[in-house]
Amino acid sequence: MAKSKKNIGQNVFNDYFTFVMDERENVVLESISPLKQSLKEAPQLEGVPSGIEGVDELFYITKIKDGKVIKQPLGGFPRYAVINVTGVSDTGKTLMAEQFAIKQSSLGNTTIFVTVETTAPFVSASLRERASAMGINPSSIEERIIIIDAASYDQLRDDIQTLLNTLAYSIKKYKAKNVVIDSVTGLYEAKEVMARTIVRRLFNFMKKWYQTAFFVSQKRSGHEEFSVEAAGGYAVPHIVDCNIALAKKSIDSSYDERLYGLPIGEIVRLFRIDGCRICGHDTSTRLMTITETGLVVVGKSLKELKGGGR
């Protein structure tokens, strides 16, 4: 919010000029359209590979063939969806975000990575490491992941409109298809009362620019562990399209030992898609592991585990 020494008169002029030239200003009338027209303009429902083993087949569409309902996997997150992943620390949220960005960029889809928690050099190093673990040459994706360092530049973190303007600039300049924000929580730290407003602005922005977006949300200690409630309450999950809840559980009974096949005192990570308004999705709680090379893998459902073996 620091006052710049820019020529205010010039800025007023620029605003007017942009205002005259920018056709997006007059949107109210255009926002009313009959269903038939809206359907014509509606995007095709298709998947974008997540880069996370075990996730792509969990989103599906249903078709009716010969009177029977058939599930057809999307092969990834629904395109143009805003996906929110929530969990306590060390559940693998950032790893998932990185895998998504790397996979998408390896497919030629430029991805903007807004880092709010860790500065760009560390994110860059982490992305390179993750790419190698995924069997992707880091050099091949360097031009397709654009990092916006909101951890280093306060104005991006503190002023939502500056962040949105910068995102719009980056999407146009680099022809981006995806946006990752790690984490949205960092954008309303110490002012959770604004969480809903900020996430709504981000959500609307992603829709306007036809981006598939992946938001990371952090939990506070008081939140129920395996829910999508995060900092800002339930504001975030209510707004976004899809929610994924991650949790950690300690093995503290012989029943757990048998179920998870791990000794007492160990930790298991759990994964659940907690809702997706765009398409059908798996609803089971699943075992999630982080491999030695730091990759998130989503495995069997607890129901399957109970049925026998990991």
Partner 1 sequence: MMKVLEPTEIQEYDVDSVAIRVFLKALEIIGGPRKLIEFRNLTWLPSLMSASYAVVLLHESAKTEDEIAQFLGIARNTVRNILRADPELVKQRLSGELETPKKTLKAHTAGGLAKLAYQEIKEGRDYLELFSHYIQTTSEIYGVFWPIEILRRIKGLDFPITVEQLLERAADISIEDKKLSELGERLPKEIKSPSQLLKAIKEALG
> Judged by CB under 8 A, does residue 161 bind partner 1?
yes
Q: Are 169 and 202 in contact (CB under 8 A)?
A: no
- CA 239 to chain centroid, in Å, comes to 13
Per CB under 8 A, which region of 18-26, 66-74, 89-97, 228-236 contacts partner 1? 18-26
Q: Which residue has the tokens 């059908």?
A: 280
> Judged by CB under 8 A, does residue 32 bind partner 1?
no
- Total residues interacting with partner 1, rule: CB under 8 A: 52
CB of 198 to partner 1, least distance (A): 5
Among 58, 81, 97, 123, binds partner 1 (CB under 8 A): 123
Among 60, 139, 149, residue whose Cα is nearest residue 105: 139
Between 160-174 and 195-208, two packed helices, what is the crossing angle to 10 degrees? 20
x/- map, 72-111, partner 1, by CB under 8 A: ----------------------------------------
> Judged by CB under 8 A, does residue 172 bind partner 1?
no
Among 192, 142, 203, residue whose Cα is nearest residue 167: 203
> Judged by CB under 8 A, does residue 19 bind partner 1?
yes
Report the helix count and the strand count for the chain, using DSSP H and E: 11, 14
Strand residue runs (E) in the chain: 47-48, 59-65, 68-73, 77-78, 82-87, 111-115, 145-149, 178-182, 212-218, 242-250, 267-276, 280-281, 286-290, 296-301
- Comparison of 172 and 220: residue with beta carbon closer to partner 1: 172
Among 96, 83, 167, 155, residue whose Cα is nearest residue 130: 96
Among 82, 160, 246, 268, binds partner 1 (CB under 8 A): 160
> Judged by CB under 8 A, does residue 204 bind partner 1?
no
Give the binding site for partner 1 (CB under 8 A).
1, 3-4, 6, 8, 11-17, 19-20, 23, 25-26, 28-29, 113, 120-121, 123-124, 127-128, 141-143, 145-149, 153, 155-156, 159-162, 165-166, 168-170, 191, 193-194, 197-198, 201
